[in-house]
Homo-oligomer: A and B are copies of this chain.
Amino acid sequence: MTTTTDSPTAGHGYISDKDRYLARLKRIEGQVRGIHRMVDEDTYCIDILTQISAINSALEKVALGLLDDHLKHCVVSAVQDGGDEAEAKIKEASDAIARLVRS
């Protein structure tokens, strides 16, 4: 009968498996640095584009994971608390989803 999965604590501590996100972001940072080097060394353009597509996919994956965590924790907890807060949280999440879909 439990509803909350990993109930959110103060300080937005909602991110599940934070170390995995941090490791992924480190890797993405390295990939961006790699593109900088590729441009600097006049690497063949198509190879740079392939790499940019890979980074975009990796960033999207991070974003989708964070969004899922957000829905599971912040939004669920706002709904459980009741009141206008839930509506505001959902509006905010929908806006963030729209930005992701369009970016």
Question: Contact residues of A with B, CB < 8 Å?
Answer: 1, 3, 5-8, 10-15, 18, 21-22, 25-26, 28-29, 32-33, 35-36, 39-40, 42-50, 52-57, 59-60, 62-64, 66-72, 74-76, 79-80, 82-83, 86-87, 90-94, 96-103
- In the complex this chain forms, how many copies of it are found? 4
From known contacts A60-B102, A83-B1, infer whether A49 and B67 are also in contact, taking CB-CB under 8 Å. yes
Q: How far is the CA of A70 from the CA of B97 in the complex (A)?
A: 13
Select from chain B the residue with minimum beta-carbon distance to A87. B5
Q: How far is the CA of A22 from the CA of B41 in the complex (A)?
A: 11
Question: Are A50 and B96 closer than 8 Å at their CB atoms?
Answer: yes
Question: Are B40 and A32 closer than 8 Å at their CB atoms?
Answer: no
Question: Are B39 and A21 closer than 8 Å at their CB atoms?
Answer: yes
The smallest C-beta distance from A7 to any residue of chain B, in angstroms, reads: 8
